[in-house]
Amino acid sequence: MAAGLRDGGGPGMEGPGDSGAGAEEPGPGEAGPEGPGPGPGEPPEPGPEEPGPEESRGPGPEEPGPEEPGPTEPPEPGPEEPPGPVPEPAPGAPEVAAEPSGPAVAAEPPAPGASGTAPGPSEKKEEEEEEGGDPAEEQRERAALLEEHRGLASERERLRPAGALLQLRLGELLRLRKGERPAAAAGGGGGRQAPAYGERLRELRELREVMQRAQAACEQRVRARSGTCRESEARAEEQWEAFRHHKKALALRALGNRLGGRAAAVQVVDGVLAKEQVKERAVREVRVENVKVKLEIQSLEAVLKAQGELLKGQSFADLAYMKKENQKLVEKFDDLCGEILKLKTQVSTAVHILSHYREKLRFVEAENQVREAELMDIDIILSQKRDFLTRKKQARDRLRANTLKLQQKRGLVGNEVLLRDFEEKVDTLELLRQQLETLKRHHTGLILTRREIQKKVREANSVLPF
């Protein structure tokens, strides 16, 4: 172990343990357990992320996830594609967990067992201060992110049918904008496209389920390897500290008599150890950067290879498509030539008709001028008669007002109907008055008779014995 640590800064630092297990990174086209990097035109979907060791130890260069060429049709928002197989570590190197990195994948620093040096007590304390968060808070944050992810996933499942319908409508509109015929006029092509689109959606749903299962398996492997990594790091830290103390003791013992005292030897040894620590940090950063560059080169090579195959396949498809389009354009050109001949004959006919209408228009304009002169004369006569009619109406209104006043003043004179009615009313009133007098006298007689009868009854009652 000590020999391996002593030779960490030499040529052996780029051994198989560093490239395979120093930082467990996904291969080309992969982006860790959380899914691949975002394709072109598809925004990265936020997912729950755990802070990796390199994120807590300070900022470092991040490697962007390899971009996979997206499909030609508009991508449907959904979960990421299933990740590829995670590379296994080399047998001779300690396992390091590959933390999820979202859109950008950052390589982890190699384990202390594979590097030349490890952080001392002061550096360990600084790293703990930089990490600054307890595991309970990280677990709460992770649980909140997972809950938010589940809510967004349910919302996506709810909006997926509406998105499918909108994509169908968008495809129809794009075809119409490009000048193609509608699906109904082309012989019912939309009826065949709809089942195919539904089949593709079902395949996509199955692939997402496979991706979710693979993601769960990868997360389980990450948790297992994270525990193993922490144990390996703890053992490496203990051995490294023991090695440093032993090396410091040997150096003090060797330099104590030569430098004239233990204090001077301690100062010199501490300076040497500090310089060694600085160099170890630089070596670690360079090693991490080297691993990142290697992974980036691999991913870019895979992307270039995939793009080359895609372009090769697309070239044949484009050639066949262009042939069909050329045939359609030739047929359309022939149709347009026939239509142009028809339009030329129609234009010549229209020119003759327009000349005839132009002559007729001139004749009608001359007639309109004559009619306008006559109309002006008629308007003058009409205005004069309108003034005369206004004066006549005013005289009629004055006469009507005078007649109304005279009718109000004369009363019943000259109105035989009202006079006859008034006489009848007077006679009827006189007759009713006489009847009223007769009834009053009769009523008075009845009252007197009643009083006499009551008097007789009282007298008879007073005479009768009890």
| φ, ψ (nearest 5 deg) of residue 258 | -70, -35
Residue of higher predicted confidence among 269 and 449 = 449
Whether residue 123 has pLDDT greater than 70? no
Higher pLDDT among residues 301 and 378, named by residue: 378
3-state secondary structure of 15: coil
Section 198-209 average pLDDT: 85
To which residue do tokens 């000259």 refer? 414
Q: What is the pLDDT of residue 54?
A: 38
Per-residue pLDDT band for 152 (boundaries 50, 70, 90) equals confident
Q: What per-residue confidence (pLDDT) applies to 29?
A: 38
* Helix and strand totals (H; E) in the chain: 8, 2
The CA distance from 77 to 69, in Å, is 16
Q: How far apart are CA 82 and CA 210, in angstroms?
A: 7
Least confident range from 112-121, 171-180, 282-291: namely: 112-121
**Highest-confidence segment of 66-80, 159-173, 277-291:** 277-291
Q: Is 95 helix (H, G, I), strand (E, B) or coil?
A: coil
Residue 240 reports pLDDT greater than 50: yes
Is the model more confident about 197 or about 17? 197
pLDDT 10s digits, 382-435: 999 999 999 999 999 999 999 888 877 877 767 788 888 888 999 999 999 999
Residues with Cβ < 8 Å from 120, sequence gap 6 or more? 241, 244, 273, 277
pLDDT digits (tens, 9 = 90+) for 261-279: 777 778 888 888 888 888 8
In this predicted structure, what is the pLDDT of residue 466?
A: 54
Q: Which residue in this structure is represented by tokens 């050639």?
A: 319
Q: Which residues of 406-437 are buried (b: 16+ CB within 10 A; e: fewer)?
A: eeeeeeeeeeeeeeeeeeeeeeeeeeeeeeee
- 8 Å CB contact between 129 and 36: no
Higher pLDDT, 147 or 181: 147
pLDDT at 187 over 80: no
Place 178 in a pLDDT band, splitting at 50, 70 and 90: low
For residues 31 and 104, the answer to whether their CB atoms sit within 8 Å is no
Contact present, 280 and 117 (Cβ < 8 Å): yes
- In angstroms, the CA 152 to CA 143 distance is 14
Task: Give the per-residue pLDDT at 404.
Answer: 87
Q: What is the mean pLDDT of the chain?
A: 71
Report the amino acid identity of residue 308: G
- CA 83 – CA 29 distance, rounded (Å): 8
- Segment 337-354 mean pLDDT: 91
Question: For residues 11 and 152, which has the higher predicted lDDT (pLDDT)?
Answer: 152
Report the range out of 63-72, 148-157, 194-203 with the highest average pLDDT. Answer: 148-157
pLDDT top residue among 239 and 90: 239
Give the number of C-alpha atoms closer than 13 A to the C-alpha of residue 291, restricted to the C-beta side.
Answer: 28
d(CA 206, CA 199): 11
pLDDT at 193: 58
Whether residue 67 is predicted with pLDDT greater than 80 in this model: the reply is: no
Question: What pLDDT does residue 241 have?
Answer: 84
Confidence of residue 89 (pLDDT cuts 50, 70, 90): very low
In the predicted model, is pLDDT for residue 69 greater than 80? no
Residue 31 near residue 105 (C-beta atoms within 8 A): yes
Residue 253 pLDDT grade (very low, low, confident, very high; cuts 50, 70, 90):
confident
pLDDT at 37 over 50: no
| Burial per residue of 310-337, b for 16 or more beta-carbon CB atoms within 10 angstroms, e otherwise | eeeeeeeeeeeeeeeeeeeeeeeeeeee
